[in-house]
Amino acid sequence: MAPALVSNATDLVQYRIEDSQPVDTNAPKGFIERYIHGEMYKHYPEVNSVIHSHSPEVLPYAVAGVPLRAVYHMAGFLGTEPVPLYDFQDSYNQTESQDLLIRSPKLGADLATTFLKMENSTADPPITKPDYNVVLMRKHGFTTFGSDIQEAVVRAVYTQANAKTQTSAAMIRGAFEALTERQAQAWVGGTNATAFEPLTTQEAIDTEPAIRATSDRPWNLWVREVEVQPLYRNNG
């Protein structure tokens, strides 16, 4: 069932965290990629909501070899480093299907550990919260999480918005650099153009709590949009 068509509790299926299998053995067929969610919950007790997306704005950064960076204040949660990239080819064995789907606990676990910095991947005791808030998936999409549904949704929405902004900025920058020196000087009023750059370390650190503190504003708007959209039905 497509998520937008869920309308009541009978449409929901519960899964065990330990193996991502349904609690009810007679449950309807579920999503293949539930291992994304199950392994994140298994690895990180502080994670309570996981979102996986094929956003067309973000997908190019999982294909082009160009790092996705936090470039505006709403995306400080992306951090001060390039967003990590999980490559399925590093996980496949010789016999399994290479369909770029997280269809096993092994692939789900490999994706989950990509949320950790290298030095923390073998920590003892294990790290209970990811180091990175978003991970790109090569030729596939991205995954993010939150301590609750609202935080996960906010991160997913603004990861997409950040990618769109970065792409637009890069295109504008490329067009500007194609100008002659005389044209460029006229455009910027005779001074040098500001460099194309991501958020600074301090900007990324400071913007995340500021945006988290005001996330109720967009969240309540998104909830209302769902409530009045005829596609979505709540049948109790």
Which residues are marked as active site?
33
Amino acid letter at 200?
A: T
Phi then psi for residue 143, to 5 deg, are -135, 140
User: Please, how many CA atoms are within 13 Å of residue 10, restricted to the half-sphere of its CB?
Assistant: 2
User: Please, how many CA atoms are within 13 Å of residue 6, restricted to the half-sphere of its CB?
Assistant: 11
Taking alpha carbons only, the member of 45, 15, 18 closest to residue 31 is 15
Contact 39, 113 (CB under 8 A): no
Residue appearing with tokens 């900007």? 203
Phi then psi for residue 144, to 5 deg, are -140, 180
Burial class (CB in 10 A: 0-12, 13-18, 19+), 13: middle
**Strand positions, DSSP E, the chain:** 49-53, 85-86, 134-137, 141-146
